[in-house]
Amino acid sequence: MYKYILSVLFLCLFCTVVYAKENCGTEGVINQIGKVISHFDSSEYTYVQIDKKNKKTWVAMPKTKISKGKYISFPDSEPIIDFVQKGGRKFDEIFFTTKYQYVNEICASNNEKPSSHASAAETRKEPSYDINFIFGTVIEGNTIAGASEPSTYCSVYSGKTLNEGAVLLISGTYACESTYPKESVPFYEILINGKSYYIKQSEVKLSESDKKRLDAMSADVVSDYRNKAISLSLNIRLKQLNEVSRAIEKNSKHGLTLLKHNIYDTSEYTDGTGFSVSVSNPTKKTIKYISFTIIGYNSVNDPVSGGNKRGTSITVKGVGPIEPNRSGSYDWEYLWLTDLVQTHKITSIRLEYMDGSKRTIKNIKDITLAPEHYLTMSEEE
């Protein structure tokens, strides 16, 4: 029942690699330069540890091949402090980038300007966007926005399921030419967390003035608008990640982060209600066992007995290990031998560590991650 949650929080659009012998970074901007000392991949992204003049830090980018021992340069940006992955791994400081390039050691030696993020954090201004962005709304619920360009039949498949009224950042248009039947189907390109999705124009409500603006854009204007829309979308995403990191950091002093928990109907053919829970270990100690005490309530808010003489207060025990900065998930079917349970409450959590120490948490609210923060963590491309 226990499993690691290995998804990551960072979502962006593309990663460009440029090999450069004399250029030491993107011209006209301040660049970070460091030597690659380690790296690892998640399902979609690459995390790279670099050495910047004996100071180690991390940079995250869409999944790519990276060479250990090489020097890389990437555009400077504000790092995220105390960033925590969905899997619970914590980074004291991490940069996010959509592009990097290899540079030589001379570039690293000449990059003398030290990073001043700590002192500049309060004075750094938000990015400014000298353009009116175009937003639309979803007309009907359960509308699919495709994660790739429409097929030859102008259909979209895997992607995002959007609710009615969801606000969309429009980044451009796409004309799909269907092979069968022979017809042209117009799509909008939208941005979610910096990544492009495609949705039929007939499924989006857009003002007539914004439609005319899109139609009137020249190729140069479209390119500039799209780049600024990507920047806005990524900036929104980074703000969300910062909020999640701060929330988890706040929970860490209590010894555990409760990511989510819920009850469910075990089977349509038998009476039974199950309980599932996911947690993250923000401490430096490995959790050996974790016990949850739960009470289930019926539709009139009375406690429900678990059956088999278990009473209304039920305690279940999960087996680790849950190592530091890692997450675990547990699931108990038929915790109640009835379908009467409508709501539940965790009254306490008991932790037993590998070093023999123990801890009981009774104020569950203090360690519970807000639903919107869990949603941010759960978004996986």
Q: Which residues of 285-324 are buried (b: 16+ CB within 10 A; e: fewer)?
A: bebbbbebbbbbbeeeeeebbbeeeeeeebeeebebebbe
pLDDT for residue 200 is more than 90: yes
Q: Model confidence at 44, in pLDDT bands (50, 70, 90)?
A: low
pLDDT above 50 for 367: yes
Q: What does pLDDT average to over the chain? A: 79
**58-278-244 Cα angle (round to 5):** 40
Query: Do 331 and 267 form a contact (C-beta atoms < 8 A)?
Result: no
Average pLDDT over residues 88-105: 76
- pLDDT confidence band for 104 (50 / 70 / 90): confident
Distance CA 314, CA 273 (A): 13
Query: What is the pLDDT, as a whole number, of residue 110?
Result: 59
Give the per-residue pLDDT at 17.
Answer: 39
Q: Which of 34-48, 91-105, 156-170, 331-345 has the lowest mean pLDDT?
A: 91-105
Write the pLDDT tens digit of every residue in 116-133. 444 333 333 444 444 578
Q: How confident is the model at residue 290 (pLDDT cuts 50, 70, 90)?
A: very high
Domains within the chain, CATH numbers bracketed: 16-120 (2.40.50), 134-250 (no CATH), 255-362 (2.60.40.3230)
pLDDT of residue 246: 75
Structure tokens at 210: 């914004």
Amino acid, single-letter form, for residue 104: N
Model confidence band, residue 349 (pLDDT cutoffs 50, 70, 90): very high
Of 77-81, 212-216, 220-224, 316-320, give the range with the top mean pLDDT: 316-320
pLDDT at 10: 34
Higher pLDDT, 143 or 376: 143
303-330 average pLDDT score: 87
Q: What is the mean pLDDT of residues 158-169?
A: 86
pLDDT of residue 207: 86
| Confidence label for 5 from pLDDT (cuts 50, 70 and 90) | very low
What is the enclosing helix (H) or strand (E) of 106?
A: helix 105-110
3-state SS assignment for residue 211: helix
